[in-house]
Structure formats: structure tokens, C-alpha cells
A and B are shown apart, each in its own frame.
Chain A
Amino acid sequence: DIVMTQTPLSLSVTPGQPASISCKSSQSLLHSDGRTYLHWFLQRPGQPPHLLISEVSSRFSGVPDRFTGSGSGTDFTLRISRVEAEDAAIYYCMQGLFFRTFGQGTKVEIK
């Protein structure tokens, strides 16, 4: 089974400062079609998750450009350029190549 490992599991960020979350998969997520099926989701307390970034780096509709996804193969990163209060949430990466597997989640707190 594919294992998705996120680090850190939590981080506390001052508003206006950057934040970065790493996601590593146990197998390459590069499909033979040339696409890489790694997505990022955000979940605020009491809410369902929602899609943030698809296929490594494509921001979903309405997602601010302070969110950037990058990476390839097995190593991926979600960056928030300048954290805002509304970014307090749990962030999950998920691979879509081998069934669907989520990372453990990273809780972002605002100082």
C-alpha cells in the first residue's frame, strides 16, 4: 500500500510569515500519461475538506495565489507565502494514482 507521510504534523505561524508542508509518498505518483496525481486539501474545524490544489500545482477555483504546490515523483511541498488568519486549518495531501491515500494531516495554527 502507498504510504503518504506529511511533515511537520503541526506548525504555528505568525500572520504574514510563510509556511511550508512536506508530503512524501512511498512510490512515485507519476502516471504514464505524464501527469502526477498528488492533491492537497484543506479542512477547517467542523467543515468537510475541500480541494486546494490538484495535480501537484494547479490551484482549484477560488484558491488564493499565496498557496503554491510543487514537487515531483515522491516529494511534494505546499507553501503558503504569507499566512493569514483564515489559513488556520488542517492540510492533507492525497495520492490518486493507487486507489486514494491521504497523508496524516498538518495542523496550521496562527500565532
Chain B
Amino acid sequence: EVHLVESGGDLVQPGGSLKLSCEASGFTFSQYWMAWVRQSPGTGLECLALINSDGSDKYYPDSMQGRFTISRDNTKNSLYLQMNNLRADDTAVYYCARDVKWGMFDSWGQGTLVTVSS
């Protein structure tokens, strides 16, 4: 069974940094693209970053402005999201998801909460 577990969410001050992790199990992690998706309180879903199976290609929406960096370690079956210069509007639940192909997010973690506040 596919299992994704996010961790690293915390309360952080504006301007601070945080690194989220997603540990994968139940499938051959190195064969799949992965994604980070967030959901701000009471709002919809936003895809933040994609990474291909070997980590050589990374994709972000223009709106991220280079503050977030996705990475992975296939030896540890782990996905990461480095977030810098955090703002109040980055407060959200952050999910990792397996991207089977072209956005077919067939498995999601339970999410980790990031709160940006002074």
C-alpha cells in the first residue's frame, strides 16, 4: 500500500525558513514524479512544485518567485520542500502527492501544518 507521511510543519515567524519532508513507502519511490500541494485555511488547492523521478528536473509556478525549492533523496525514499522568506499567506496545510503522470495525483499524504505568524 502506498503511504506518504509529511513532517516538519511548525509555527514560524515571518521571514523565517522551514524544511518539510515527505517519507514514502509501499512503492518504488525512484520511479515516480512527486509534488507538493498546499491548502490555505478555508481555501482551495495550490500546486507548489513538481520534481521528476530522478530529481533532475524541477518545476514551479511563476507565483512562487524562487522562495521554495523541491528536492528528493531516492536513497531515503524522501521528498523535501525548503521554504524561505515565509509570509503570513504561506500559512497552510502542505501535502505531498505522487504524480503518476501529468497531474494524476493518485496518492496523498495527510498533510503537515505550517503557520507563519509573529
| A interface with B by C-beta (< 8 Å) | 1, 31, 35, 37, 39, 41, 43, 48-51, 54-55, 60, 92, 94-97, 99-105
Query: Once the chains bind, are A1 and B108 in contact (CB under 8 Å)?
Result: no
Interface size on B, residues (CB 8 A): 23
Provide the main secondary structure of the chain A interface. loop
Query: Once the chains bind, are A48 and B110 in contact (CB under 8 Å)?
Result: yes
Q: Which residues of B contact A92 (CB under 8 A)?
A: 44-45
**Assuming the A-B contacts A1-B62, A48-B110, A50-B108, are A96 and B45 also in contact, with contact meaning beta carbons closer than 8 angstroms in the complex?**
no
**Assuming the A-B contacts A1-B62, A48-B111, are A101 and B47 also in contact, with contact meaning beta carbons closer than 8 angstroms in the complex?**
yes
Q: Which residues of A contact B110 (CB under 8 A)?
A: 48
**Assuming the A-B contacts A1-B62, A48-B108, A48-B111, are A100 and B95 also in contact, with contact meaning beta carbons closer than 8 angstroms in the complex?**
no
13 contacts between A and B (CB under 8 A): A31-B102, A37-B103, A41-B45, A43-B45, A48-B108, A54-B104, A55-B104, A94-B45, A95-B103, A99-B47, A99-B59, A102-B47, A105-B44
